[in-house]
A = this chain, B = another copy of it.
Amino acid sequence: MSKNLTSRAEDYSKWYNELVVKADLAENSAVRGCMVIKPYGYAIWEKMQAELDRMFKETGHVNAYFPLFVPKSLFEAEEKNAEGFAKECAVVTHYRLENDPDNEGKLRVDPNAKLEEELVVRPTSEAIIWNTYKGWIQSYRDLPILINQWANVVRWEMRTRLFLRTAEFLWQEGHTAHATKSEALIEAEQMNNVYAEFAENFMAIPVIKGVKTESERFAGAEETYCIEALMQDGKALQAGTSHFLGQNFAKAFDVKFTNNEGKLDHVWATSWGVSTRLMGALIMTHSDDKGLVLPPNLAPFQVVIVPIYKNDEQFELISKKANAISNELKALGVSCKFDKRTTHRPGAKFAQHELQGVPLRIAIGPKDLENNTVELARRDTLTKEIVEMEDLTQTIKDLLVKIQSELFSKALNFRDSHITEVDDFETFKKVLETKTGFVSAHWDGTAETEQKIKELTKATIRCIPMDNKKEEGTCVYSGQLSTQRVLFAKAY
């Protein structure tokens, strides 16, 4: 088994990197900045996908698939969007390799197979999708279009970290088209609410819903809604965004429709997405120095049974018991794995399942056979108890619900105790250096102040919370009048 992890107190960043690899979630690949998502990590992502997909469909969306490539001329059509992503685009320029005459057995790009127009590997799909929507929309009867896509995207980042920032990542991107501005605004806010609900109820990650300042908006958006989470090290993480795109893309791609009064108008748009970055949020919200801690909703298996035996006879009796428990749990909708590997000792199995965050572990030994009991251990609290076989499966089902809810409460307490109201800039700087977390402070509303604060403290405005109370005050940096506090933090 793997050696101990670096502790979080010692080096949070190192702890994260080690955990991702040792818990078999992902690893770096031979391709600069691209990751391999390993089966255990992918199984968690599949759980997220399934729940999000269900929520999208419940709110009237359907899935589709658009091309991986965006011709350069389409890519540059919406100016702000193009400008925002141009610096990190992987570009396909050729479509063939040939034998390299100077280097036997090797291949080289065939210079005769240069594309007439370069293709950008999608960093996001607004351009290719709005170019397609142009052909689908003539009348208000064709609206709304409520489409989501599950896809890979590429952004050539220079400094990458597994899940948090990778050159290629997996995500979903919703792209909707509407007849009116208000309908599009409602959609954008609705999807941000869906993300918040998903993060809190499914991932047990408390989030603050808000809107971004102009300088933090998605390139090409008129309003960016977001959910912001707080990691254990006091840094914020943007866990999802939903954009009101106004008529920008409709204008760039000339997408007009006849409204119900017979007049031509440009279509209103939204887009929204969450990505494999959520895996990073999951890890840095719940895990501990022993490894991953998984909310039961996201665990590839919620219960693992480890047999402890000295001979074949004991193994057989324990197996019988384990299979019975497993079947009963399955009937209750609880996933369970009987770890009967003969290649690993119980201690190594315990360590692995702890590292991989299995919410509940059952150990069954000879004593348990005698007493008709099992040992039941909770991953999140690292506590264990002896439980009668009789009560076991219902106990487990209830306990999983409790764990899910307690993980959320714990994270919520942490988050709430890491929001500090600050009214002067000296304290502002000090809080960011020492206590970390969100700083709630007045801001004069200018990009200049925002930029200055960023330069001086590395903190950015994470969001203007949706339910912000209006409050008279003065900007923590400039002293100008302000009507509300915003949330600052250092962020991933």
Residues of A within 8 A of B (CB): 27, 29-31, 34-39, 42-43, 45-46, 62-72, 74-76, 79, 82, 86-98, 105-107, 109, 118-121, 128, 131-132, 135, 141, 147, 151-152, 154, 156, 168, 170, 343
Determine if A70 and B105 form an interchain contact, defined as CB atoms under 8 angstroms apart: no
Least distance between A238 CB and chain B CB atoms (Å): 22
Contact A92 B95 (CB under 8 A): no
With contact pairs A39-B147, A97-B91, A128-B29 given, residues A34 and B68 touching in the complex (Cβ less than 8 Å): yes
**B156 in contact with A66 (CB, 8 Å):** no
Q: Which residues of B contact A71 (CB under 8 A)?
A: 30-31
Q: Which of B74, B106, B131, B168 contacts A67 (CB 8 A)?
A: B168
Distance A264 CA – B62 CA, assembled complex (angstroms): 51
The oligomer's copy count stands at 2
Asked whether B29 lies within 8 Å of A67 as measured between CB atoms, the reply is yes
Contact B128 A31 (CB under 8 A): yes
CB distance from A130 to the nearest CB of B (A): 11
A465 to B343, CA, bound (A): 40
From the candidates B86, B94, B109, name the one contacting A97 in the complex (CB within 8 A).
Answer: B86
* B67 with A39: CB separation less than 8 A: no
Question: Would B93 and A94 count as touching, CB distance under 8 A?
Answer: yes
B contact residues around A63 at 8 Å (CB): 39, 42-43, 46
In the docked arrangement, what's the CA distance between A99 and B109, Å? 25
CB nearest to A91 among chain B residues: B94
The answer to whether A88 touches B95 (Cβ under 8 A) is: yes
* B96 and A89 contacting across the interface, CB-CB below 8 Å: yes
Q: Which residue of B lies closest to A37 (CB)?
A: B65
Q: Give the top 4 A-B pairs by smallest Cβ distance, nearest first.
A: A34-B67, A39-B62, A37-B65, A95-B156
